[in-house]
Chain A
C-alpha cells in the first residue's frame, strides 16, 4: 500500500529547501522501488522545524525535521516510512507541544490537508459552514456572525457582523465581497499560510459572505510579494469552479453548490504598495488607479468597489467565518477575553528561537507567547523590545510583556494588536534607529493624498536625524511630539495616523536611546525614492 509522505509547499518551507527535500524523497523512493504518495501540504507553522516532513502511519502522522536533502537517504535507511526513530524524529505531529497547546479554529486544516484537493477539504469538515449558510436567511447568517463576536483581523477590530449588516441593508443592483490579502505588515504571514495551505477555506468564507449580503462578485487582492500564494489561489479557484459537492454544479459560478445562487471570484495582484492594505486604497487599486485613499464617509459598505456596496474584510476574518457557521456563534464566542472573542492568530517573528504561527484564544500574554511558544530570542541575547502590530505598532519594552493579547488591553497601553504579528528584538537594537525607520517607511509608502502624512513623514525623518545628531535635542524632541500629534489627528488614514505609535513609544519606553552621543550622520531618504515620489 502506498505510504503518504507530506512535504510542505508553503513559501517559508520552500525558502529553506523543501523543494529539494521533496525531490530527494521522490527519487530515493523510486530507486528503492517503494510506493509512496507525496503530498505537498501547507505548513503547520513551526518554521524552525521546516522543512518538516510527515509520514502517515497506522497510528497517525509522524514528523521529522528540519530535514535536509542530504538527510533523506538516512531517513529511508532508518525506516521513516514506518515512522521509525531517527535523529530528526519529532514523534507524532499532533503531540508536539507547540501544536498541542494551541486552539486551532481558523488554522484547523492548515498543514494537514492537500491545499488543492477539494476531496481532502471536504473530508476535513470543509464546506459544512456553507451548507448551513445555504439553509439560513441572510439576516440569520449576519446575526450569527455578529453574535460570534468576530472582529476585523486586519487590525482595526471592527465588528464583522455590523459591517455585513450595513451591506445587507443597502439596496443595489450589484454588491461585492473584497478580501484584503495585502498582508504588508512586517512580522505577519498568516494570510499567506492560508492562501498556500488552505485556500478553499477563504473561498468558502467569501462565498458565505456573498450569500449573507447578496453579493455576486468577489475579489481577492493578493500582494505581489506572494507569487506562490497567488498561483495557489488561482488554481484553487479554478478547481472550485469545476467541481461541486457530489458532482453537482461547482462551488463557484452561476449555481453555487446547487443553490441557484451566483458567486464569481477572481484573485488580483497588488503591485508593491503598502498603502493598498488600507481598504479604500485597495478599492482604488482594484479599480485600476493609484492606490490613494478615499476619505470616509462614504463607507465602502455603502459606496465601495466601483461605487457599489462592498464588504471589505481581512483574509483571516473571512477564513474564520466557515467555522462560526459550522460550529455556531457560541462555540466561537466562548474563546477569548473581554470584547476580544475567539482566537488570535499570533505570528512570532524576528529575533525569535521558535518562530511560527500560534493560534490561541485572546488573552494569552505577550510573555507566554514569546517565551512559552517562541522560546526567547534566536540570538540567545536578552530581549529588549517587541513590536506588535506591524510597522504602525508600538515598541514595547520587556516590562510590558505582561500585556494580554486583547484589543483593549493593547490600546490602554498605547499599543495596537494589528494583524497579530510580534517582532522580537534583542539588546542590540537601537530604538532611535527604529523610530527613524518608522518615519522613513511612512515617507516611502505614503500615498500622498493628505499633507500630514505626505509632508509630515519626511519632516519627521529630518527631525529624528537632528535628535540622533544631538542637534538641539530637547527642542527637537518637543517638535517631534508636536508633529506626531498633528499626524495622529490630521491624517486621513491609519498610515499617517498611526506611525506616531512606533515613534513615540520608542521615545517613551526607551529614552536612553535618544540620549546617546551623536554618531556619524546617517544617509537621508534614498534619492531614488525622491525621484519616483515627486511630492517629497
Chain B
C-alpha cells in the first residue's frame, strides 16, 4: 500500500474505465493501491465513468469492503457468522477487542492493526476462522489470535 497519489489513481482509473460495469473494478484497484478510497478519487471516478458524485458515493458506501480512511498496517478480519458462532467466535471477538483495546471496525492507536468483522470466509469446517492480510487461518483459539496479532505487529 502506498500513500494517496492522484496521478497514480488517475492511471489506475484509465486502465479500467473502458470495462463494461467498470465501477467496482476501479474501486477495488484504488483500494488495493492505497488501502482506502480517498475522497479526492470520487470526482475523478465520476468524471471517468460519466456518473454523478452521488452515484459513486452511493456505491462506495453500499459495499462493506470500501473504506473511507486508511486502515492499519495489517488488517485482521474475524468471521462472525453462524458456523463460527457455533465454535465460539463471540468469545474470540471479545478477547481480541479486550487485548487491543479497540472495537470491530477500528484501528489500534499505533496504526498497526485494523480489526474488522466479516460474515463467512468459507472455512466453516475449521471454525472459528479469521483472515489476516488476505491469508486464511482456521480453528483460531484466543492463543492463536494472540500469536497472529503479535507476529503481525512485530513484522510491521
- Where the two chains meet, the residues of A that have a C-beta atom closer than 8 Å to any C-beta of B are 11-12, 14-16, 47-48, 50, 183-189, 191-192, 224-228, 268-274, 285-292, 306, 347-352, 355-356, 378, 387, 391, 421, 423-426, 429, 434, 437, 441, 444-445, 447, 526, 528, 532
Contacts and interface: CB of A to CB of B under 8 A. Distances in A.
B107 interface: no
A191 B20 CA distance: 25
B84 to A, nearest CB: 7
A225 B125 contact: no
Given A12-B125, A189-B125, A289-B59, A224 B119 contact: no
Q: Which 7 A-B pairs have the closest CB atoms?
A: A355-B125, A288-B23, A186-B81, A349-B124, A271-B63, A272-B64, A15-B138
28 contacts: A15-B123, A48-B125, A186-B81, A186-B84, A186-B120, A187-B83, A192-B122, A225-B122, A269-B25, A271-B28, A271-B64, A271-B65, A272-B118, A273-B63, A286-B21, A287-B21, A288-B21, A288-B23, A348-B125, A349-B83, A349-B124, A350-B83, A350-B87, A350-B127, A351-B87, A434-B85, A441-B81, A532-B61
Given A186-B124, A387-B82, A290 B58 contact: yes
Given A271-B65, A272-B65, A273-B62, A15 B83 contact: no
Interface in B77-121: 77, 81-87, 104-105, 118-121
Contacts of A347: 124-125
B65 A224 contact: yes
Contact of A11 (B65, B123, B127): B123
Given A272-B65, A349-B125, 18 more contacts: A15-B129, A15-B136, A48-B125, A186-B83, A186-B120, A187-B82, A188-B122, A188-B124, A189-B123, A189-B125, A271-B63, A287-B21, A350-B82, A351-B87, A351-B127, A423-B124, A434-B82, A444-B119
B24 interface: yes
B62 A290 contact: yes
Contacts of B22: 288
A14 B59 contact: no
A11 B119 contact: no
A291 B126 contact: no
B20 A306 contact: yes
Contact of A391 (B25, B81, B123): B81
A15 B137 contact: yes
A269 B65 CA distance: 11
B65 A227 contact: no
Interface of B: 20-25, 27-28, 49, 55, 58-59, 61-66, 77, 81-87, 104-105, 118-127, 129, 131, 134-139
B90 to A, nearest CB: 9
Given A225-B120, A356-B125, A528-B105, A271 B86 contact: no
Nearest to A287: B21
A15 B136 CA distance: 5
Nearest to B84: A186
Nearest to A354: B125
A352 B125 contact: yes
Nearest to B105: A528
A378 B126 CA distance: 10
Nearest to A395: B82
Given A269-B24, A288-B22, A355-B126, A228 B64 contact: no
Contact of B86 (A226, A391, A425, A526): A425
Given A15-B129, A387-B82, A424-B86, A269 B28 contact: yes
Contacts of A526: 104-105
Nearest to A391: B82
A283 to B, nearest CB: 9
A366 to B, nearest CB: 15
A120 to B, nearest CB: 24
Contacts of B25: 268-269
A174 to B, nearest CB: 10
Nearest to B117: A526
B3 to A, nearest CB: 23
Contacts of B20: 287, 306
A185 B120 contact: yes
A255 to B, nearest CB: 22
B66 A47 contact: no
B24 A226 contact: no
A48 B123 CA distance: 12
A288 B105 CA distance: 25
